[in-house]
Amino acid sequence: MTTSIRVNDTLHELSLDSRVTLLDALRDVLGLTGTKKGCDQGACGACTVIVDGQRVLSCLTLAAACEGQHVVTIEGLATGDELHPMQAAFLHCDGFQCGYCTPGQILSAVCAVREVHAGVPSHVTPDVRHTVNSATLSDEEIRERMSGNLCRCAAYPNIVAAVRQVLNERLHI
Partner 1 sequence: MNAFTFERVTHATDAAAAVAANAGAMFLAGGTTLVDLMKVEVLTPTAVADIRRLGLSSIDVSDDAITVGATVTNSQLAWHPVVRDRYPVLSEAILSGATTQIRNMATVAGNILQRTRCSYFRDVHAACNRRQPGSGCDALDGFNRGHAVLGVSEHCIATHPSDMCVAMIVIDAEIHTLRADGTTRSIPFAKFHHAPGDTPHVEVALAHGELITHVVIPSLPAARRSHYLKVRDRASYEFALASAAVVLDLDGDTIRAARLGLGGIATQPWRAVEAEQILTGRIATDQAFRDAAEIALAGAVARERNHFKIELAKRTIVRAFATARDGNA
Angle between helical axes of 85-93 and 156-169 (0-180°, round to 10): 140
Provide the 8-state DSSP code for 26: I
Q: CA-to-CA distance for 115 and 12, rounded, in angstroms? A: 29
The site string for partner 1 over 120-139 (x = CB under 8 A, - otherwise) reads xxxx-x-xxx----------
Residue 169 engages partner 1 in binding (rule: CB under 8 A): no
Residue 1 engages partner 1 in binding (rule: CB under 8 A): yes
Residue 5 engages partner 1 in binding (rule: CB under 8 A): no
Among 34, 40, 83, 88, indicate the residue that binds partner 1 (CB under 8 A).
40
User: What minimum distance in Å lies between the beta carbon of 41 and partner 1?
Assistant: 6
Please say which residue, 42 or 171, places its beta carbon nearer to partner 1: 42
119 phi and psi angles, rounded to 5 deg: 85, 10
Residue 154 engages partner 1 in binding (rule: CB under 8 A): no
Among 19, 135, 136, 172, indicate the residue that binds partner 1 (CB under 8 A).
19
Exposure on the CB side of residue 158, measured as CA atoms within 13 A:
17
User: What minimum distance in Å lies between the beta carbon of 173 and partner 1?
Assistant: 16
CB 5 within 8 A of CB 69: yes
User: What minimum distance in Å lies between the beta carbon of 95 and partner 1?
Assistant: 18
Torsion of CA 124, 130, 135, 138, to 10 degrees: -10
Provide the 8-state DSSP code for 8: T
Among 11, 65, 153, 171, indicate the residue that binds partner 1 (CB under 8 A).
65
Q: CA-to-CA distance for 139 and 145, rounded, in angstroms? A: 10
Contacts 24+ apart (CB under 8 A), 134-137: 134/167, 134/168, 134/170, 137/167
User: What minimum distance in Å lies between the beta carbon of 49 and partner 1?
Assistant: 9
Residues that bind partner 1 (CB under 8 A): 1, 17-19, 21, 40-42, 45, 48, 54-57, 60-62, 64-65, 67, 108, 111-112, 115, 120-123, 125, 127-129, 143-145, 147-148
